[in-house]
Amino acid sequence: MKSQKHLTIVIKLGTSSIVDEKTHEPLLSILTLIVETAVKLHKDGHKVVIVSSGAIGVGLRRMDVEKRPKHLPRMQALAAVGQCRLMSLWDSLFNHLRQPVAQILLTRGDIADVSAKFPPLEAMRTQYLNAQNTFAELLNMGVIPIVNENDTLAVAEIKFGDNDTLSAITAAMVQADYLFLMTDVDCLYDKNPRTNSDAQAIEVVEDIASLEADVSTAGSSLGTGGMSTKIVAARLATSAGVTTVITRSSNPGNIINIVKYVQATKYSRNGSPSLPSPPADDPLSRSISSLYLDGLTRPPLHTRFLPDPQPIRDRYFWLLHGLAPHGTIYIDEGAYHALADKAGLLPVGVVEVEGHFAQQEAVKIVVVKRMRPYLSEGETYEKAKPVPTEVGRALVNYSASEISRIQGLRSHEIQSVLGYADSEYIALRENISFFKKEKGSRPVTPSLGLGSEHSFLEPAQI
């Protein structure tokens, strides 16, 4: 009999799901249910990772501080106090069910060395692989990793920005099947359900770019996220092939029922939830049988973002989302099409450089179309001016000042201009990764200050 391939499930909890917003007391009722749900999933053979916010909130309670401070050192000190208490709480609750857990604290610097002046590519990539291998080993040992951003040490340059983003990157790193973003509402709505009685639930999202949802729900006074950051996280996770779900944190049992329902429908005929007999080696065959017996024909209320059928994974995902870009290289359409055909980036295709960056640092790649020589009747210059289009990321072989001197030149001219020629390419093709085309938007990492309003060119197949 073939060995079963079980699911990997990442569960993200915000601060508002862990501590009371006013008293800062731990919400033991929710935490206990989360623990029971995680252990049940684990006993069913699935691998579970929890991404837990709440360190600062717990620190506020421990130190009898009323409000989240704005002063960074004080906030980091409270996070240091709170993280100890938070992990102790998780460990105590899981210990009641004899389930071992592990603490993993991450910053962007832990998966890409941004502290070294000229970090070699191999060293930066190795850190990401080390983190990936640690997750894999813990999960194989039957341990549930509990992940949080290392708020005690993180500064703006190496922060993920919020734990929604951290959970999406974690889900991609462990190649998860599901990412659950637990929040204080059941799902996304087309309008704010608190002020509009006719608000309609959004159950399934195939194209995030065309999503019309109310995102006015901000994060709690203790947290950093809101509904908009969850949509950004969903965009990022689905690009890595992860089914992403938004659902209510106060009813963690929904996680099991949603997974059962989604897996069951994969075996249904014509999308109907009627259930044929699943393959004998399917990891959820028992769950599906249970689902049939329970007569569950509708899943609990949630919003489900469908994964990209051609996900970006491993090295290319790391290039796009593991590294913080330090500048921008603008290229012409000819250079872009050459990259799409697997060629490297030559200096002749570079039209402008922006920012200050060194060798082997990440930069944004932006395509600039040529201006038409003549304006149409009634057309203004501003309307005719092409909009630059961001298409991906690259690790460069030359610094910003060097590229600005050799842009537009032939490769054989590099030596005469710089006095040396480390490479004929500004960036090797293997060090360039493109965003997936998403009908008007693409995955972004919010802590990097990127917008999602741009339309993007068709990327090369990776």
pLDDT at 135 over 50: yes
Question: What amino acid occupies position 221?
Answer: S
* Across 2-11, 174-183, 272-281, least confident range: 272-281
Residue with structure tokens 């600039």? 368
Classify the C-alpha dihedral 358-360-361-363 as positive or negative: positive
What band does 55 get if pLDDT is binned at 50, 70 and 90? Answer: confident
Residue with structure tokens 């493109």? 434
**What pairs with residue 195 in β-bridges?**
none
What is the rounded average pLDDT of the residues 273-292?
46
Alpha-helical regions (H) of 329-376: 333-340
Residue with structure tokens 């600005």? 404
* Cβ-Cβ contacts under 8 Å for 71 (sequence gap 6 or more): none
* Across 241-255, 379-393, 437-451, least confident range: 437-451
Q: What is the pLDDT of residues 320-332, one digit of tens each?
A: 887 788 999 999 9
Check if the beta carbon of residue 15 is closer than 8 Å to that of residue 57.
yes
Q: CA 254, CA 63: separation in Å to the nearest integer?
A: 34
- Return the top range by mean pLDDT from 14-23, 136-145, 282-291, 429-438: 136-145
Q: Could you give the percent of the chain with pLDDT greater than 70?
A: 74
pLDDT recorded at residue 198: 86
DSSP 68-98: --SSHHHHHHHHHHHHHHHHHHHHHHHHTTT
DSSP 277-295: PPPTT-TTHHHHHHHHHHT
Check if the beta carbon of residue 402 is closer than 8 Å to that of residue 427.
no
What band does 459 get if pLDDT is binned at 50, 70 and 90? Answer: very low
Token pair, residue 381, equals 């210059």
Token pair, residue 190, equals 């087309």
pTM of the complete model = 0.75
Name the burial class of residue 29, with classes exposed (0-12), middle (13-18) and buried (19+) by CB atoms within 10 angstroms of its CB: exposed
pLDDT recorded at residue 360: 85
More confident residue, 99 or 194: 99
Q: Could you give the percent of the chain with pLDDT greater than 90?
A: 40
pLDDT recorded at residue 17: 87
pLDDT recorded at residue 415: 93
Token pair, residue 281, equals 């080696």
pLDDT at 153 over 80: no
* Across 27-41, 136-150, 193-207, 212-226, least confident range: 212-226
For residue 351, which phi and psi values (nearest 5 degrees)?
-110, -20
Nearest residue to 299 (alpha-carbon basis) of 342, 326, 268, 325: 268
Nearest residue to 19 (alpha-carbon basis) of 89, 108, 117: 89
Q: What is the pLDDT of residues 297-307, one digit of tens each?
A: 678 899 999 99
pLDDT recorded at residue 195: 82
